[in-house]
Structure 1
Amino acid sequence: MKWLLSFTAAFFFALSALAQVPPAAPQQKIDELVRLLQDPEVKAWLDSRKQESGAATPASPAGNSTLASWEAGARARVHALLAAIPAIPTEVTAAATRARSEAASRGYAPVFLIFGGLVAFGLAAEAVYRRFAARRESLLGRLIPVGIFAGAMGIVFFAVEWPPLARVTLLAYLSAFILFRLAAALLSVAAMGSSLRRRLLILFGVVCFAVATSAVGEPLGVSPDVRKAISYCFSVVGLLLAIEAVWSAWEGSRARKAVITAFLVALWFIWCLNMRGLFWIGIYALVLPGILNAVGRAALSFTSDAGSLRGILIARGARAAVIALAVGWLALVWQLNPDTLGQRDPMIAALFYGGLKSVLILVVADLLWQVARGWIDRTLRVSTSTTSLAPADAARRARFRTLLPIFRNALAVVVAVMAGLIVLAQLGVQIGPLIAGAGIFGVAIGFGSQTLVKDVINGVFYMLDDAFRVGEYIQAKDYKGTVESFSLRSVRLRHHRGPVFTVPFSELGAVENMSRDWVIDKFRITVGFDTDIDKARKLTKKIGAELMEDPELGQHFLEPLKMKGVEQFGDYGIVLSFAMTTVPGMQTYIRRKAYARIREVFLANGIAFAQPTVQVGGDDKGGGGAAAAAQAIRAQQANEATAAK
């Protein structure tokens, strides 16, 4: 369906372009006109007529507006078209007679016989090639015979000195026939049904014949009005073919088919009224979305990763190129039709060209944004990978995860604002007062929302200081947790027990970062007074070596587990101090493993852990000693309970 609409649009434009070619004035008449304009008497007469017309010209009436002028021109074209249609047979017969008479006067056969002979010679050369060459179903295998066909006809055509009219006619129709053969070869390998392929060939054949007929009209002496009438007749044929394809080859509801048919008829009327810009805008509305999707899919076939920067650049760049070509073509069509309604009104013309420039600006802005966003998203995906990295690389990736989301949001705002301002400027809006008003409005917002401004500014300085990154565990005032994400004014913290804190930057204050570089973890163990300290030190060193060699824990150690020595003498034993240096976040897990291993090794080597004991002495046979012991134990338990609280 979209292919049919595209060919219909090309058909209409080709006919309109050829129908508007002005006839070339003979050189003798041009020379005579130049000689008359240089005559002093003619110059004096022209000056006097100019003065008389300037004095007698009345003020333009209100009704003589741009719209009225366009309406008068359209009415004149319609009347000229209706008057030229009955003259088509006479003009065509006269043109054929002129070509035949010229050929006969120089001893040549009629043009149609020469055309048939050249085509037969080309087909014969193609048949010889097909007889000796292997048949290939690829695109190249189908294009080579067409090239041989065209080459054989071209050799004969350029080798013979044909009469002028016959040469122009043969060149036009031979070129059209070669283009038709080329289109047939291309469509033969396209993925489409036979019915659609047949309709496209018929439509393209009509297009080629119409273009060739319009091209030879001027050399054969056909009047401009008749040439335009012939173009309109061919356009009706193209319109009927497109409507027939809508109702026969397209699977859709009757309502949608009726809407498409009405739209095609409206486009045809717009084309007939010489409103070329509006006509092509309607064509773009029909076919451009499908063309963009097809071009995007075709561009992605050149890359294996659609999400890569190269894939995004190729796909978006191809779509941007298609839109740029469409805009350029629309501007060219508008420029080549100076008598259109929009060209006569400076305001409409300025808005039209401003709109075209705005489309290009938006396309460029979208391309830049898509490329930047693709790079940011790809960098974030790489930064969140779980592969083991060196500390410097891990820190750099963590900083990327922290800053790139903020940069992406800021870049989106900047691109949108800049593109919007440039578009407004191209449409004729004075953006200077707009920017000044926005500045005043921004100052008012700043005074009215000082806390918001404070949050944003504090966030900027936190980022510049690299105070924390995504994935790090921090504590600030009463808030602590793992940094999950940022916005322009706040940070999102996930507590290790699950709650989420959204804290404005102005509320953070001093930040304690627990996830940078390294962590020294210290703990104490109480053993009995009779413990051999040197033996405990050696056993601790052995335990540290075992933990370093553990495949799961060893990679998280920066320095092994060591016993620092005797920290103090407690009430029930000797307090030993231990320390180890690990990567941030793993110290608690490693400490638990170290506790279990120390208990196992110490007990196996006769080192007992201290336990609270109470010794009571005396000879109170009445049970006073037992009561005192019980009281001491209760006091000790009360003290321990108080300490635990």
Structure 2
Amino acid sequence: MRNVFSAFLVLLSLLIAGPSLAQTAAAPPPEKLSELLKLLDDPAIRSWITAQQQAQAQTQAPAIPTQDVEDLEEKARSHFAALAAAVPKVPSEIARVSARIRADGAASGFAPTYLLIAAIVAVGLAIEWIFKRVSKGARFENGILNKLLLEAGPTLVFIVTASVIFLVVPWPLLVRPVVLFSLLAVFAFRTVLAIARLAMTAGASHRTVHRRGMIFTGILLAGIVLAALGPKLGVDPDVSTVISLFVSAVLLAIAIETVWLAAPAEESPQRLWPKMLRTLALVALWLVWCLDFNGLFWIGIFAAALPRVLPAVDHMVRAFAESRWQEGVVNSPRMVLISRGARALVIGAAVAWLALIWRYDPNDLLQRNPVLDTIITGLFKSVVILLLADLCWELTKTFIDRKLQTVSDPQLQNPADIARGSRLRTLLPIFRNALAALVLVTAGLMVLSEMGVAIGPLIAGAGIFGVAIGFGSQTLVKDIVSGVFYLMDDAFRVGEYIQSGSYKGTVESFSLRSIRLRHHRGPVFTVPFGELGAVQNMSRDWVIDKFRLRVKFDTDVDKARKITKKLGAELSEDPEFGPMILMPLKMKGVEEIGDFGIELSFAFTAKPGMQTMVRRRAYTMIRRAFMENGIEFAQPTVQVGGDEKGDPTAAAAALRKHQMATEAAQAAAAGGA
């Protein structure tokens, strides 16, 4: 072991000294060199030195190559020159590779490759046709499942048939990858075609977009096959790059045409701006791909595609559910789980593809750059957190909306159910808004925490800031706290008519701070809870309505009472007004003997808000019944004596004087009370 250590020190000193030893140091004695050579020839020492070198290479960070702008410019110029020189070689290179493939197939007794691929596709289509004929009688109750059987079933049969043929045949060396990648492209095209037809059946895709999408998909798959076969068939890399650029330019042209295809000729310039921006975005993505920034390219693709793909997925899932389940199940938490699960699969596939493109390895990245590892890992975890937060919010929102729809059913007749529904319509919207804020804040803090942000000081700072705001906005705190206690006391509900001070109206809605009242004449009052004070609720349980009528002094009061009782019974049996009345119309008796007649008092009990309609109907019935039975209403009369007897002007003046005296007496009595 001592010899090993000595040899290691000698080697280390040689490495440290470097080339300077060759210039200044004297040559070591021959006996020491022979001893060193013997040690180096020992297999144990060699293995130990190799292990030490590997460990040192792993611990040392790789040097970052630096390049000047001139070097980059020279490399770009050389690359463009190579591509320009490769353009004329494309036909000859294609002919050369095709000849190699034909020769390889002919040497093994195979037909040309395109005939082999066509034969496999033909056999697959034949088996697919047989499957369609056999399954023609199988039908489901809804159209989506039928379309799924008609599209997914034959496609799956075609893929299985072609795969079996490919796996059974022993293909030549060069023919095998050509057939394999061609079949994979056909499989992918058939799968995309089936999905697109299902989307059209569900109404999530336009026919024009469908046609352009299929053309785009076919050319894209052909380009992918050519790019994948290039290295395997020995194609010149520059020629392969030129072909890929040509295919990408064609795809860019199709995408731009699809963007502008929906623009009518007479469309205004203002509406052309979005299409111009989309065109510029497509060109920018193409340039990013040309510069070989694959990660940034796919981020742009997903950013542009996901906002359109996710609603289409939701639409397809909802169409499938509507054709299979009842409406109550469609708007249920089960439907939310299915819909959000489909969205999560799409987003998860996008994130997984990005990780594959970036060759993401957490352990390797953690050793090379811990900060970047924290950010990227935090991004992936943030996606999961946001998906779970969205699921929780949608489940809760669906439950609350279903409950609100249930309690708002106009067919409810039980007073207890009506009262409970009114209270739920009042509290559930506030709970929904508060829950949305809670989910948003919690998800945001968790995302910041996963990104490496210390949220402890952030929460502490927010608490201090909240205390400062509380001291500076005591009125706001008062309004919120008052509103909480009003709701706990069940002082009012949405749809009830209340009065507080000079404010009165129907409760339309309220927030954490204020209540919104709609006056019966139309104006809207927004009243803070802190200014509401005592609340007079006119929509609870029942309402007693009283009114007075004045008849002449010679009226038979008992006869009037009997007539009123009969009218009350008729009014209670009326199909329109009967449900509004809780206790029938009655005459209470003589309330006051005035100057011109007797004031009779009437009363009835009705449901809240219905008393006005019942009173109007009662006025009409009482007037008609009193006139039919000889009961006359009292009218103010004035008899003028003396020299002005018979003068109408004097009578009017005396009547006006009497009214003013009566009003003054009433005002004085009210002031004394």
* TM-score normalised over the length of structure 1: 0.70
Partner of 2:465: 441
Check the 8 A contact 1:187/1:197 in 2, yes or no.
no
Matching residue within 218, 234, 247 for 1:201 = 218
Deviation at 1:322, TM superposition (A): 2.0
Is contact 2:61–2:368 with CA below 8 Å preserved after alignment?
A: no
Deviation at 1:559, TM superposition (A): 0.8
| Distance change >3 Å, CA 255–CA 546, structure 1 → 2 | closer
Distance in 2 between the 1:494 and 1:301 partners? 40
Question: Does 2:302 match 1:284?
Answer: yes
Instruction: Provide the alpha-carbon RMSD of the alignment.
Output: 5.6
Aligned counterpart in structure 2 of residue 263 of structure 1, from 284, 291, 294: 284
SS of aligned partner of 1:429: coil
**2: CA distance, partners of 1:179 / 1:56:** 46
Q: Which residue of 559, 569, 589 corresponds with 1:535? A: 559
**Secondary structure of the corresponding residue to residue 520 of structure 1:** strand
Aligned residues with identical type, % of pairs: 45
The more displaced of 560-569 and 458-467 is 560-569
> 1:414-470 CA distances to partner (integer Å, 9 max, x unpaired)?
222222211211211111111111112212222222221111111001001110112
Q: What are the superposed Cα offsets for residues 270-314 of structure 1, whole Å, 9 maximum, x if unpaired?
A: 53xxx5433321322343333234334433433558995577766
CA distance in 1, matches of 2:665, 2:124: 109
* Aligned-partner residue type, residue 415 of structure 1: V
Deviating more after overlay: 568-577 vs 425-434? 568-577
CA 1:295–1:249: 2 relative to 1, 3 Å: same
* Structure 1 counterpart of 2:372, from 348, 361, 367: 348
1:333 aligns with 2:357: yes
* Residues 556/129 of structure 1: CA separation in 2 closer, same or farther (3 Å cut): closer
Deviation per residue, 1:545-589 (Å, 9 max, x gap): 111122332121001112234446556655443221101122233
2:260 is matched with 251
Where does residue 119 of structure 2 map in the other structure?
120
Match of 1:496 in 2: 520
Question: How many positions carry a matched residue from both structures?
Answer: 579
Paired residue for 1:239, among 243, 248, 262?
248
2:316 is matched with 298
User: 2:381 pairs with 328, 339, 357, which one?
Assistant: 357
302-311 or 410-419: which moved more?
302-311
The answer as to whether partners of 2:102 and 2:113 remain within 8 angstroms in 1 is no
User: Which position in structure 1 is the counterpart of 2:477?
Assistant: 453
Contact 1:455 1:490 in 2 (8 A): yes
2:538 touches 2:608 (CA, 8 Å); kept in 1?
Answer: yes
Structure 1 residue corresponding to 2:347, chosen from 298, 323, 334: 323
CA distance, structure 1, for counterparts of residue 592 and residue 422 of structure 2: 42
2:506/2:520 contact within 8 Å kept: yes
Give CA deviations for 1:603-629 in whole Å, capped at 9, x if unaligned: 32233445567899xxxx9879999x9
Deviation sequence 1:340-367 (CA, Å, 0-9, x none): 9999432223212222333443344345
SS at match of 2:320: coil
Aligned to 1:176: 184
Give the secondary-structure state (helix, strand or coil) at the position aligned to 1:466.
coil
Q: Which residue of 2 aligns with 1:641?
A: 663
After superposition, the Cα gap between the structure-2 partners of 1:544 and 1:352, relative to the gap in structure 1 and judged at 3 Å, is same
Distance 1:467 1:138 in 2: 56
Cα 1:336–1:111 shift into 2, 3 Å? farther
Q: Provide closer, same or farther for how the CA distance between residues 457 and 155 of structure 1 changes in structure 2, counting only shifts above 3 A.
A: closer
Q: Post-superposition shift, 1:404?
A: 3.1
What are the Cα deviations for residues 234-267 of structure 1, in whole angstroms up to 9, with x where unaligned? 6445424424535667637997697356424433
Maintained 8 Å contact 1:486/1:492: yes
The answer as to 2:537 corresponding to 1:506 is no
Moved more, 397-406 or 504-513: 397-406
1:548-627 superposed matches below 5 A:
548-567=572-591, 574-610=598-634
Change over 3 Å in CA distance of 1:408–1:174 after alignment to 2: closer
- State the Cα distance separating 1:142 from its structure 2 match: 7.8
Distance (Å, rounded) in 1 between the aligned partners of 2:124 and 2:520: 84
Give the 3 Å change call, closer, same or farther, for CA 133–613 of structure 1 in structure 2.
closer
- Does the CA contact (< 8 Å) of 1:338 and 1:344 recur in 2? no
Whichever residue aligns with residue 439 of structure 1, its letter is G
The 1:212/1:505 distance shift into structure 2, 3 A limit, reads same
Contact 1:522-1:579 within 8 A present in 2 as well = yes
Per-residue CA deviations over 1:40-91 (Å, capped at 9, x if unaligned) read 9645324345668999999989xx45988xxx9xx99x999x99x99x999x
Q: CA deviation at 1:487?
A: 1.8
Whole-angstrom distance in 2 between the partners of 1:525 and 1:245? 85
The residue number in structure 2 matching 1:31 is none
Shift of residue 516 of structure 1?
0.4
1:472/1:513 contact within 8 Å kept: yes
Long gaps (5+) in structure 2: 1-40, 137-145, 201-206, 262-271, 668-673
The aligned amino acid for 2:583 is E
> Would the alpha carbon gap of residues 233 and 422 (structure 1) be closer, same or farther in structure 2, given more than 3 Å must change?
same
Q: Which moved more, 1:150-159 or 1:136-145?
A: 136-145
d(CA) in 1 for partners of 2:127, 2:401 = 59
**Contact kept? 1:246, 1:257, Cα under 8 Å:** no
Change (3 A) 1:122 1:263: closer
**Distance of 1:262 and 1:579 partners within structure 2:** 81
Question: Is there any run of 5+ residues in structure 1 with no aligned partner, and where?
Answer: 1-39
Residue identity in the other structure for 1:420: G
Instruction: Please give the secondary structure, in 1, of the residue aligned with 2:624.
Output: helix
